[in-house]
Structure 1
Amino acid sequence: MRTVAEVARMIDHSLLRPELTTGDIETGCALAARYRVASVCVRPADVPLAATALAGTGVLVGTVVGFPHGGNATAVKEAETRLAIEQGATEIDMVLNIGRLRSGQLDDVEADIRAVVTAAASAPVKVILENAYLTDEQKIAGCRAAERAGTRFVKTSTGFADGGATMADLRLMRATVSDTVEVKAAGGVRSLDTLLAMADLGVTRFGATVTDRILDDLDHRLRDRDGWTAA
């Protein structure tokens, strides 16, 4: 079984709900630092706060671009990306243009993604497909456009549509992109068993809001396996 530290480094702790207060963001960043997860993913306006809160912790600051619908003009997505990087973001989760993808306008989809990848410079970009709105053929086309555009990850969902990550979608995405592109699951990753099953498919990053529940569950299981008594 994977260690707590290994699983923690696969989690992007999500702080994207619109009602979250400044105090909620600070509390979430403290939780992320305590568990030493890969990153927090915050709303764009919260990037400076998160960057300050997480300085020196080793936890990265991620944010979203074109969120949650993907319909922003490309120039707006570029500007969002550049500002986020200037303010301390080190990872970018962008929503591709869902309507253009559904319309079969793949050149537009690819150009939109490439513009964000360029604006992000060395910061990894995760392209959100929002699979709940797509056919399998559209998911494949979106993944391939994202890879051609130079993305580091393809991602299932924003967590704000009717459906989130599914095992079938993750298999399809992992089979569609090359080994140089990683797969992120988001939306519905609410238990350790779900996360581990998805990891077995080759998923390497997870968006989660119940990070502490997942990692505490793993800690308890490992203690039980090794004959420890959980405190």
Structure 2
Amino acid sequence: MLTVKKIAKIIDHTILKPNATSLEITKACNECKKYGFGMIAINSAQVKFCKEQLKETGIHVGAAISFPLGQTTLETKLFETKNSIDNGCDEIDYVINIGELKNGNIKYVEKEMEAIVGLCHDRNIISKAILENCYLERNEIIELCKIALKIKPDFIKTSTGFGISGAKVEDVKLMKSIVKDEVGIKAAGGIRDLNTFLEMIDAGATRIGTTSSIKIIKEYQSSKGIQK
């Protein structure tokens, strides 16, 4: 049964806009502490700052790698991943190379996932591969899920939230039907209310990325008659 605490732990409280100031990042960190969100999702430049803000809270700091396009070399992604880990991040969300996938270069995409996930696992860091489903055909989503079953990132993720569309229930269901319970699923992008949040959870998502975290919590409290 869901509770306010359980919902908060599922949420990656997100502030990835390029013009976010230190004051806004601090505010987001304070919101994580107030509501007990599981993770703050930020660009890699803010990792060290957020780690200091959230020290001794148990709240994870998550770095977005090659965000939002995924169009950097594997070597660049590995450097950014290692740099983020060295700066104190607890989780990595990296964007796959969609262009290579579209080129039919499945081996490259698999090699990329193996290298980044391997680095994360060697350092005991949670890894998430962002598929960016809005640009993918159904067969491409299936192919990526099969690669994930082989490589075992901790999560596969629907979207960056910066593409032409965000998470879709049917995509989460498709991903879940392939990876089962072997790989977690993170839904992100366009999840702005409690109903959408619950639809994604029912479809099989086990982590939600959203900028509407507080709104979702308050809607749940209201739906249950919880005074806060």
Q: TM-score range by the shorter chain?
A: over 0.9
Deviation (angstroms), 1:178: 3.4
**Paired position in structure 2 for 1:33:** 33
Identity across aligned pairs (percent)? Answer: 37
Unaligned ranges ≥5, structure 1: none
Deviation (angstroms), 1:56: 1.2
The TM-score with structure 2 as length reference comes to 0.96
Query: Among residues 180, 183, 188, which one is paired with 1:186 in the alignment?
Result: 188
**Paired position in structure 1 for 2:79:** 79
Cα deviations by residue, 1:122-177 (Å, 9 ceiling, x for unpaired)? 21111000111100000111122233222110100000011000011111111111
Deviation (angstroms), 1:72: 0.8
How many angstroms apart in 1 are the aligned matches of 2:26 and 2:4? 23
SS in structure 1 at match of 2:13:
strand
Please state if 1:64 is matched with 2:64: yes
Deviation (angstroms), 1:219: 1.1
**Paired position in structure 2 for 1:119:** 119
SS in structure 1 at match of 2:93:
strand
Query: Among residues 196, 214, 217, which one is paired with 2:216 in the alignment?
Result: 214
Unaligned ranges ≥5, structure 2: none
Answer whether contact 2:32 2:39 (CA < 8 A) is retained.
Answer: yes
Query: Among residues 128, 133, 156, which one is paired with 1:131 in the alignment?
Result: 133
Give 4+ residue runs of structure 1 displaced > 6 Å after superposition: none
Deviation (angstroms), 1:109: 0.1
Answer whether contact 1:8 1:38 (CA < 8 A) is retained.
Answer: yes
AA aligned opposite 1:101? L
SS in structure 2 at match of 1:9:
helix
Cα deviations by residue, 1:63-97 (Å, 9 ceiling, x for unpaired)? 11111111111011111111111111010001011
How many angstroms apart in 2 are the aligned matches of 1:117 and 1:204? 19
**Paired position in structure 2 for 1:44:** 44
Answer whether contact 1:39 1:59 (CA < 8 A) is retained.
Answer: yes
SS in structure 2 at match of 1:37:
coil
Deviation (angstroms), 1:222: 1.4
Deviation (angstroms), 1:180: 1.8
SS in structure 2 at match of 1:70:
coil
Superposition CA RMSD, Å: 1.1
The TM-score with structure 1 as length reference comes to 0.95
Which one is further off, 166-175 or 143-152? Answer: 143-152
